[in-house]
Structure 1
Amino acid sequence: MKKQYLFGLLLSLLSAAPVFAQTPEERGLEIAQEADKRDTGWQDMKANMTMILRNRHGQKSQRKIRMRGLEILDDGDKSLSIFDQPRDVKGTAFLSFTHATIPDDQWLYLPALKRVKRISSKNKSGPFMGSEFAYEDLTSQEVERYSYKWLRDEDLNDRATFVVERYPEYAHSGYTRQVAWVDQAYWQPQKIEFYDRKNSLLKTLVYEGYQQYLEQYWRPAKMHMDNHQTGKSTILEWQDYEFRTGLTARDFDKNSLKRAR
């Protein structure tokens, strides 16, 4: 009887033993993978964008841009940005091929020079067209581009979020790390903090006005990037999202830069 009692006690203790929990790194990667999974399958997109630049004195200028995107399932996505206004940048076009683990391919067409300029892989931290967005900020955020660490769950603006730190794994990044607040319902970022190579807070990006498309894909109406070190900011306002419009790889080759009108 005593042996049976001890055996039963041992079984109860074993059944009550805690299961090994995920590490913060495993949890962070899991969140990134789930967010990526939920945003897969949109195929292609078109949208119009207004870029509003503000200097540290509060003076503003703006640009009108047409955006195109093509989803690439076995690699990073392709995107094309075509500037329509103001007149001094009209016809400028930017083409980007994001890659998961190797340097991105990016080109800029300058109509005044009538030539295509390749963006060096070492220049990804440079500002895009005078904005507070770097070239690397404009690429698709492939899971493999970062390593991750879950920090905590936290409410932000009355919404539940995962707070995840991510560290660039690609060469020539201008950041040591980023801290992202990922909405637990949308699985999209609500806010991202960017830390420079000295690990000082450089910029904060806030997303606003998310809407759902095709009953699955969430996209923001506004993205507000503040540079804490220069006092400058850039706002991207998005309109007229369209998905699955029939764009193909031919719409994103280098010749498409010169064809852009």
Structure 2
Amino acid sequence: MKFQKIIMVILLALFSGSVNLAAQDNNKAEEIMKKAHLALFYAGDDGAAEVTMKIVNSKGKERLREFTMLRLDIEEGGKQDYYTYFKKPSDVSRLTFMVHKIPFSSDNRWLYIPSVDLVKRISADDKNSSFVGSDFTYEDVSGRHWSEDNHKLIREEKLNGRDVYVIESVPKEKYKGFARKVSFIDKENYLPLKEEYYNKKDALKRVFTAEKVELVDGIQTATLRKMVNVKKDQYTTVEFSSIKYNVGMKEEVFTERFLKNPPREYIR
């Protein structure tokens, strides 16, 4: 009887230890994903860049989009504003997209369509829709907050010569964007170098990659990003140029009155 009690104590200790280790790994995974989110979406206090988007279909036909993107952080890792002004081609020229990012709530998104002089509010249900016909979604533009998912550190490995954490993320609540996501996070700069999105059947839907990382104003920046739509056999790249951080962006720029009249201080 005494021997059985000893065995039981040992088993309980081992079980307790494994539970604690699992909890520590999950906490580490969440901290890594938080840093990754900040590295990709919250670099500096604000930012401005020229962006060239290339959409390539399964037959190799290309469509180009050129736009200016402005960003202002209201809170680090929290509220954030985005403003996107399209310049080319003519069918999207002067189209404006604005986001008020609100963690733990539904983001506010507006789209100004100049051809019909219409300001359209984009509902929360549309956040996983295609962004101007690309393989990126509206939510991809401003990012999904790390706290909306449960994270687990799967392993550590090398990706294209870089040491990375491999983390699996599963939505805490019902979500259309993905059933699970596997992220490959650079151990040095915490930028996500690759992300794999899977559906409910565990089939690979989309793959994001940071094709080029450069030092801009002392900040490691993914200047060329690619999203592959596996099912449609097509992809979209976005290349950032003329990047500037900490330019002193004004909060008034991210208001509805500037949807129809772009701020010429930042947009030429």
TM-score computed with the length of structure 1 as normaliser: 0.86
Residue matched to 1:25: 26
Pick one of 76, 79, 82 that aligns with 1:76.
79
Pick one of 199, 202, 207 that aligns with 2:202.
199
Where does 1:22-171 land on structure 2 (aligned, <5 Å)? 22-23=22-23, 24-36=25-37, 42-73=44-75, 75-169=78-172
Render the CA deviation track for 1:151-190: whole Å, top value 9, x for unaligned.
Answer: 1101000100001111234664321121110000111100
C-alpha distance 38-88 of structure 1, shift in aligned 2 (>3 A): closer
- Is the aligned partner of 1:183 residue 2:178? no
The answer on whether the counterparts of 2:52 and 2:240 sit within 8 Å (CA) in structure 1 is: yes
Q: Which entry has the higher C-alpha Rg, 1 or 2?
A: 1
Coordinate RMSD, CA, aligned? 2.1
Identity of aligned residues (%): 26
- In structure 1, stretches of 5+ residues that fail to align are 1-17
Q: Which moved more, 1:66-75 or 1:221-230?
A: 66-75
C-alpha distance in structure 1 between counterparts of 2:126 and 2:202, whole Å: 19
Q: Which moved more, 1:57-66 or 1:72-81?
A: 72-81
Residue matched to 2:14: none
Residue matched to 1:235: 237
Render the CA deviation track for 1:116-161: whole Å, top value 9, x for unaligned.
Answer: 1001111111101000001121123433232211111010001000
C-alpha distance in structure 2 between counterparts of 1:159 and 1:186, whole Å: 10
Q: Secondary structure at the match of 1:88?
A: coil
C-alpha distance in structure 2 between counterparts of 1:80 and 1:103, whole Å: 17
Supply the AA of the counterpart residue of 1:208. Answer: E
TM-score computed with the length of structure 2 as normaliser: 0.84
- Is the aligned partner of 1:244 residue 2:235? no
- In structure 2, stretches of 5+ residues that fail to align are 1-16
Q: Secondary structure at the match of 2:99?
A: strand
Supply the AA of the counterpart residue of 2:30. Answer: L
The answer on whether the counterparts of 1:107 and 1:118 sit within 8 Å (CA) in structure 2 is: yes
Q: Secondary structure at the match of 2:21?
A: coil
C-alpha distance in structure 1 between counterparts of 2:171 and 2:119, whole Å: 28
